Amino acid sequence: MSRLLEISDLRVEFATRNGPVEALKGVSLSVGVGETLGIVGESGSGKSVTAFCVMRLLDRAGRIAGGHIRFRGEDITRAGRRVLAPLRGAAMSMIFQNPRAALNPIRPVGLQIADVLRAHESISAREARERAVALLEAVRIRDPVARLAAYPHELSGGMCQRVMIAMAIACEPSLLIADEPTTGLDVTTQKTVMDLLAETTARRGMAMLLITHDLGLAAQYCGRIAVMEQGRVVEEAPPARLFGTPGHAYTRRLVAASPRRDSTVASLVGAPEPQPMPLRPRQPLLEVRELGKRFGTAAAVDGVSFHLDAGESLGLVGESGSGKSTISRLVCRLLDPSEGSIRFDGEEIGAIPAGRFHRSPYRRAIQLVFQDHGESLNPRFSAFDSIADPLRRLLGLRDGAGLRARVEEAAERVGLPGDLLGRFPHQLSGGQKARVGIARAIAAGPRLLVLDEPTAALDVSVQAVVLHLLDRLRRESGLAYLFVSHDLNVVRMMCERTIVLQTGKLVEEGRSEVLFAAPRASYTAELLAAIPHFAPEEGDARARAAVAG
């Protein structure tokens, strides 16, 4: 098989304030005509940098320090604009993470597709328009003629990514690079977008370079997978072999840390299974009845009822727009409900205005762990101050040995080394910031922790450690969790009971192991079926089916 793209011994340096930093340390990869190669790895592994090198989209600070990139046998490592311009978009093109930002916000999508067509072919505006309609149809956008005039902000994230795909395939390139194409999209949208990509590339004989942090996704859609770690390719193999008998230690860790249908929190980090929690007497903690929240005329949450016992963990799952985040904010009393009641510990707290809840004695009993651990820490607060903040404000502790002891205790419980307490958020890693956020939430001694997608922004190996930590905390201290996530596997592992939401309404509720094994609602089944997974044989079969189809 002739190689379409050949990368050999590629080295890239980034100029930083502390001198050059090597981002790629000799990467060699190749993609054949019509082949799909996956590159997996965690943040900082260099997978995106590799793709940007091929397209020559590195920003000013980045520099190719050595090695070669050959496309169709031609060396394009140092090719100028003149050589690249006809290649980019026409022979190789790329789609990106965060599709809405990747489209020009103030230009109708039809014109953006036409821009690509007219950059490579001398056709009239009218022809370009007709071709754009055909392309939108090809990426299965309903009513394509009407959508031509739409702006990106009027389309959903999945639709934006389809438009992006339409632009990328407009001039029939032979290589498509997809850089985390479905990160941030709902699981069902992810499935439709990925199926569309697989089918399109197969039908048009295009090769695809799929860059992802999601091993399941790579396994399901790629014929071959390269694992990258810190600027190097550590292993390259077909999915079945990679996941069946991973050769490199890093691959083994990565595979182990990725949640699967049968994994448990302990198995992710290779820890022994904890003792099952002893049966405890039922002691209701949170009782939500007929909860509703309207924004304008649209109901974000519509008549949702559930309850939570002390020490129990309840998962809230659903796609974007399902109302799961709104419910978490209502329960945290950051939002006022439009109707219904929220009873905590037998007391009605839904009636206390959100603006005044911080003065309520229940504020310290209900605490929140946020999704973005970096953004939710005050950049001017050291880790110590962040953890001490609720103690100062809610418990009225003054600076001194007492406060210091409480902060250190909280830090110890989340496994944050004491010498990191003096550091500021930008001096901490993602996992450390997550620990600070959790320590802050448990510092004031809450009884209910609301976790809003606590691991969505973390790499899988860090996610595994944080999930293990959260699970241990709950077992040790009898905290109750309201766990919001779009990741069904995570919820299944973390929560005893699960609630499935769709457009603000409760669809299904049940014990997690039952609900996930045998969902009653068709929506739940649909969500479960959309999760990419790497049962190896099955993944291979699907890839083959996609190519054949």
Partner 1 sequence: MRGIAGRAGRRFLSSLPALLGVLVFTFLLMRVLPGDPAIFFASGPNAGQAEIEDIRRRMGLDKPVPEQLLLYLRDVATGNLGRSMTTGQPVLNDLRGRLPASLELTFCALLIALVLAVPLGILAALRPGSLLDHGVRMLCTLGVCVPTFVSGLLLIYVLYYLLGIAPDPTGRIDIFASQPPTVTGFLLVDAALAGDWEAWWAAASQLVLPACTMALFVLAPLARMTRASMLAVLTSDFVRTGEALGLSRRRVILVYALRNALLPVITIMGIVFSTMLGANVLVEKVFSWPGVASYALDALLSSDYAPVQGFVLLMASIFVLVNLVVDLLYGLADPRVSIG
Question: Site residues (CB under 8 A) for partner 1?
Answer: 55, 57, 59, 81, 84-90, 93-94, 96, 98, 101-107, 115-116, 119-120, 151, 153, 164, 167-168, 170-171
Residue nearer to partner 1 on the CB measure, 82 or 380 = 82
Nearest approach, Cβ of residue 71 and partner 1 (Å): 14
Sheet holding 92-95, edge to edge: 92-95, 175-179, 207-212, 36-40, 224-229, 232-237
Q: Which residues of 281-318 are buried (b: 16+ CB within 10 A; e: fewer)?
A: eeeebbbbeebbbeeeeebbbbebebbbbbbbbbbbbb
Residues in contact with 424: Cβ distance below 8 Å, sequence separation at least 6, in sequence order: 379, 380, 381, 382, 383
Closest CB to partner 1 among 148 and 170? Answer: 170
3-class DSSP string for 21-81: EEEEEEEEEEEECCCEEEEECCCCCCHHHHHHHHHCCCCCCEEEEEEEEEECCEECCCCCH
Q: Which is nearer to partner 1, 59 or 419 (CB)?
A: 59
Shortest distance in whole angstroms from residue 524 CB to partner 1: 34
Between 63 and 393, name the residue whose CB sits nearer to partner 1: 63
Closest among 333, 332, 286, 314 to 482, alpha carbons compared: 314
Q: Which CB sits closer to partner 1, 141 or 462?
A: 141
Pick between residue 182 and residue 382 the one whose CB is nearest to partner 1: 182
Q: Which residue number, 63 or 280, has a Cβ lying nearer to partner 1?
A: 63
| Minimum distance from residue 202 beta carbon to partner 1 (Å) | 22
Q: How far is the CB of 93 from partner 1 (least distance, A)?
A: 6
Q: How far is the CB of 69 from partner 1 (least distance, A)?
A: 15
* Nearest distance, CB of residue 154 and partner 1, angstroms: 8
Candidates 508, 484, 496; CA nearest to 327 is: 484
The upper half-sphere exposure of residue 142, i.e. CA atoms within 13 Å in the direction of its Cβ, equals 3
Residue 89 CB, shortest distance to partner 1, in Å, is 3
- Structure tokens given for 191: 């499935």
Query: What minimum distance in Å lies between the beta carbon of 38 and partner 1?
Result: 20
- Our measurement of the distance from residue 165's CA atom to the centroid of its chain's CA atoms, rounded to an integer in Å, reads 20
d(CA 120, CA 344): 63
For partner 1, which is the closer residue by CB, 170 or 484?
A: 170
